[in-house]
Structure 1
């Protein structure tokens, strides 16, 4: 018991002796923390004009912020005279780094993939992309995962490695998208009139001359109950939702134009043919006799 008390008194004396150093270390850590946040904000604002990619700006600011905080932490440990311990930890880290690297192989792969994605010119925050079965607006690219917000406001978090290893479609790289509409008209319709009316309807509602494109119209097949056609045109759009709205509007306008000119879009028709003639009178007579 006396040894325990003696040891506690020794620790108390060491603690009281190092109170100034502990206070300085705490102040250094706090300064490093707030300095790292200030550096993060400062770099993000000042790099906005020089680096257009928001993902790259975020990466640079985060790395700079981490470096500032780690530097402050090192100074604090030096003030507390833990520099010898720190050197020992660093030396041991070199030996155990291989083991840790193997254990965190997936995490390190995502981190490296995050750095690569941040510097890609064909992918940036705010783009509308489709990848790995998901489509939405990119809201964050960090060192671990890739975040998109879908049209229904659901947030999808995807590992960076998955994004880098799989193809993705970026709708925001172009300002124009082509829409294809497939439809059919009755066999008795004036096909030349249908083509002219469809093209004029699209032109009136989606000015192709301003875009510098033409409306494309092709009859594709003699269907079971209709002659089918394909109409393609261009719209100003940077995401799939705008494209979907434009296609919906085009279908409505084409249907109105066809109704006005009495052009029928036929329903699927199925003809049933009975090879054996039914003798209704004999059947009724047999039923009557059997009932008696």
Structure 2
């Protein structure tokens, strides 16, 4: 009992001696707590102008808040002269961090990739992009995955790491797209008339002067049954669906113009030759069928 009493008295003396340090450490922790809340709001408001994803904004603001708390905790433990204890905690946290990092390597990679994608100016929600074999509108950039809505209204969920490591095409970065149409006309057609009619048809349906571009027309080859040409023109478009609609309209109008001008678009034909006097008569055919059945 005497040893216990002596130990308690020693602890009492140490406690009384360190009351000023305890008070300072408590004040530091209280200040760190309110500072972390303020930091959370400031960071959330600051990055909200650049990041539209609420989950990413919350992540960044929470990290900033946690760092503020850790700084306050470090200062409080320094005031209390717990340097040895602090070193032990940091060492244990380092080992635990390595183990957790290895176990959650894929998840952490997607999370970091999501943060990086959120800060990219050339990729935003609402853009029409094509990546990893999929094409559609960007619906969400979350911390773990990337969501696309395809033209058929299906949702595609892609890991952020895949998006970050793969090239992608963003149709929304430009307001103009060039469309290419390949076709062929019969060998007897007037090629100069074909070129003039095609350019006139495109210009009448797609105003190239307003866009500041011109229609390009080139004959490309002598085909098996046609002389082929390539026509390129520009349209105001920010996604692949509008480009597809414009190409469809151009094909319809060119076909109408060619039909009105009696310009034929050749297509493959197959000729069937019927022999009037077949060498095999009906008796021979029946005989062959009987032989097959008996065998």
TM-score if structure 2 supplies the norm length? 0.68
Contact 1:43/1:61 (<8 A) preserved:
no
Could you say which residue in structure 1 is the equivalent of 2:107? Answer: 107
Distance 2:45 2:128 in 1: 26
Establish whether residue 189 from structure 1 lines up as the match of residue 185 from structure 2.
Answer: no
Distance 2:59 2:102 in 1: 25
Distance 2:122 2:201 in 1: 35
Could you say which residue in structure 1 is the equivalent of 2:57? Answer: 60
Partner SS, residue 148 of structure 2: strand
Could you say which residue in structure 1 is the equivalent of 2:250? Answer: 250
C-alpha displacement at 1:224, in angstroms?
1.4
Contact 1:134/1:150 (<8 A) preserved:
yes
Distance 1:120 1:250 in 2: 35
C-alpha displacement at 1:119, in angstroms?
1.4
Per-residue CA deviation, residues 31-55 of structure 1 (Å, 9 max, x unaligned), is: x9xx89x959x738x943xx3x535
Contact 1:146/1:160 (<8 A) preserved:
yes
- The match for 2:45 among 32, 43, 46 is 43
Contact 1:131/1:169 (<8 A) preserved:
yes
Partner SS, residue 129 of structure 1: strand
Distance 2:230 2:105 in 1: 50
Could you say which residue in structure 2 is the equivalent of 1:80? Answer: none
1:17-28 equivalent positions in 2, closer than 5 A: none
The two structures, once aligned, show a CA RMSD in angstroms of: 3.7
Per-residue CA deviation, residues 92-123 of structure 1 (Å, 9 max, x unaligned), is: 43322111111111111112211211111211
Contact 2:110/2:160 (<8 A) preserved:
yes
From the superposition, tell whether residues 156 and 289 of structure 1 become closer, same or farther in structure 2 (CA, over 3 Å). Answer: closer
Contact 1:213/1:234 (<8 A) preserved:
yes
Distance 2:266 2:211 in 1: 33
Contact 1:39/1:65 (<8 A) preserved:
no
Distance 2:284 2:176 in 1: 77
1:1-292 equivalent positions in 2, closer than 5 A: 39=41, 43=45, 47-48=48-49, 51=50, 54-55=52-53, 59-64=56-61, 92-270=92-270, 280=277, 283=279
Q: Name the count of aligned residue pairs.
A: 240
Contact 2:146/2:158 (<8 A) preserved:
yes
Unpaired stretches in structure 1, ≥5 consecutive residues: 1-31, 73-86
C-alpha displacement at 1:91, in angstroms?
6.3
Larger Rg: 2
C-alpha displacement at 1:193, in angstroms?
0.6
Contact 1:224/1:269 (<8 A) preserved:
no
Unpaired stretches in structure 2, ≥5 consecutive residues: 1-33, 70-85, 287-295
Could you say which residue in structure 1 is the equivalent of 2:28? Answer: none
Per-residue CA deviation, residues 182-237 of structure 1 (Å, 9 max, x unaligned), is: 11111111111111000000000000011111101111111111111111000000
Distance 1:243 1:289 in 2: 62
C-alpha displacement at 1:63, in angstroms?
2.5
Partner SS, residue 267 of structure 2: coil
From the superposition, tell whether residues 288 and 65 of structure 1 become closer, same or farther in structure 2 (CA, over 3 Å). Answer: closer
Contact 2:48/2:57 (<8 A) preserved:
no
